[in-house]
Amino acid sequence: MSEEFDFELNRVARVIAERNVKTALLQFPEGLKRQALKVKGQLVEKVPKCDIKISGEPCYGACDIPKTSDTELIVNFGHLPIPNLANVKDVIFIQARSEADPLPAVKEALPRLGGRVGIVTTAQHIHKIPEITELLESQCKVGVVGKGDDRIFSEGQLLGCNVSSAKSIEDKVDNFLFVGSGDFHPLAVAIATSKEVIIADSISSEVREISELKDKVLRQRFGAIATASHAKSFGIIVSTKPGQRREELAKDIEVKLKEANRDTLIVEMENITPAKLDAFGLDVWVSTACPRIAIDDHARFTNPILTPAELEIMLGQMAWENYLFDTIT
C-alpha cells in the first residue's frame, strides 16, 4: 500500500511569495525522495517565478541542513525543528504528515498491550496521537505520552539519535506502542528502556514486536566490540553536521584510547561512506555522529564502527550488562 503525505505546499508557496524568494532548494529524506517529482511539479504551478531545485544529497533529519547553498530558501520535508539548534531563517521544516490511518493496526495490537501504554512515533504520525489515546481509553487502557528533552519538538516524538520522550515515561508504562513503519526507532526504544515495544505499522496494518531483532542487533554489537578489542589503530569520526557535532566527546575518546596504548586519528566528515573510511586504512572507527551509522548501517562498512558507549565496554570501563544506546541530547 502506498502512503500519502501532506506536504503543505500552500504554506511553502506562501512563504516563497511573502519573502519574494527567487530560488528554493527542496530537501527530502530517503523515504520521500520518490515524491520529489510530484512535489516540485505542484509547487512550480503555485510559484512559477521561483526556481525550484532538488537536493540529491542524503538527508537524515532536521540536523542535516546544507551548510552552503546558493538558494534563498531551504525546505526540509519530513522533519520537525530541533528546538535546541539555532533557528536558521532561510530554512522551513515541513512535517509531511502521513495520511495513513494507524487505528486498524492499533486495534490489532490491543491484546499485546498492558494497562498503561507509552505512545511513541515519528514526525509523520505525531498528529495521530490524540486518536490513538482515545482508542486506548475506550478499551480501558491508559495512553501515556512523554515529553522529551530540548532536542524534541513534540511530545511522543522520537529521533534516530534521541528517545528521551520514551525514557521520560519508562517507569510509568507497562510497554510501548510505536506507531509508524520501520524498525530503527522502536529498536532504539527497546534498547534504551529495556521495555517491550509493539509496532503498529500504519501502512501494512501489521503488528509486530521488536525483541527478536533487538537480540540479533545486540549479538552483532557484542561481536563488533570483541573484534575491536584486538585492534591497534582507531579512527574517531566527528560529524560536520551542526546537530550531530560532538567534538568534545571525540577528544575525550581520543584520550581514553591513548591511555589504552591505541593509535588514534580524529577525522571530520559530513557524509560517512565506506570508501571514505577505507582510505585511511584504520582497524576500527568510533562514531560520535548519528548512532544509526554504527548500528543500522554497520553491514555497509569493512571494519567495525563502535558507538562511544561500546568503546567504554571494549575498554572495560562499562559492563556489557549496562549497555547503553547512544543518544545525542
Q: How far apart are CA 226 and CA 222, in angstroms?
A: 6
Helix (H, G, I), strand (E, B) or coil at 105: helix
Compute the half-sphere exposure of residue 249: CA atoms within 13 Å on the CB side of its CA.
Answer: 20
pTM above 0.85, yes or no: yes
Question: Which has the closest alpha carbon to 287: 214, 221, 191, 230?
Answer: 221
pLDDT score for 56: 92
Question: What percentage of the chain has pLDDT greater than the value 90?
Answer: 83
- 151-154, Cβ contacts within 8 angstroms, sequence gap of 24 or more: 151/82, 151/83, 151/84, 151/328, 151/329, 152/83, 153/80, 153/81, 153/82, 153/83, 153/123, 154/80, 154/123, 154/126
Task: Calculate the alpha carbon distances from 153 to 164, 204, 225 in Å.
Answer: 11, 27, 34
Name the pLDDT band for 318 (thresholds 50, 70, 90). Answer: very high
Task: Kindly state the greatest CA–CA separation across the chain.
Answer: 62
Question: Which grid coordinates are listed for 18?
Answer: 511573502
Helix (H, G, I), strand (E, B) or coil at 297: coil
Task: Calculate the alpha carbon distances from 131 to 65, 182, 283 in Å.
Answer: 32, 21, 50
Residue-wise pLDDT for 194-243, tens only, equals 899 999 998 888 999 999 999 999 999 999 999 999 999 999 999 998 78
pLDDT score for 31: 87
Do residues 239 and 276 touch, judged by C-beta distance below 8 A? no
Question: Which has the closest alpha carbon to 202: 145, 136, 121?
Answer: 121
Residue-wise pLDDT for 14-61, tens only, equals 999 999 999 999 999 988 999 999 999 999 999 999 999 999 988 888
CB within 8 Å of 121: residues ≥ 6 apart: 128, 129, 156, 157, 158, 178, 179, 180
Q: How far apart are CA 329 and CA 321, in angstroms?
A: 22
Do residues 276 and 325 touch, judged by C-beta distance below 8 A? no
Taking all residues of the chain, what is their mean pLDDT, rounded to a whole number? 94
Residue 5's DSSP bridge partners are 98
Q: How far apart are CA 211 and CA 190, in angstroms?
A: 8
Amino acid (1-letter code) at residue 107: K
Mean pLDDT of 124-143: 96
pLDDT score for 68: 66
Question: What percentage of the chain has pLDDT greater than the value 70?
Answer: 98
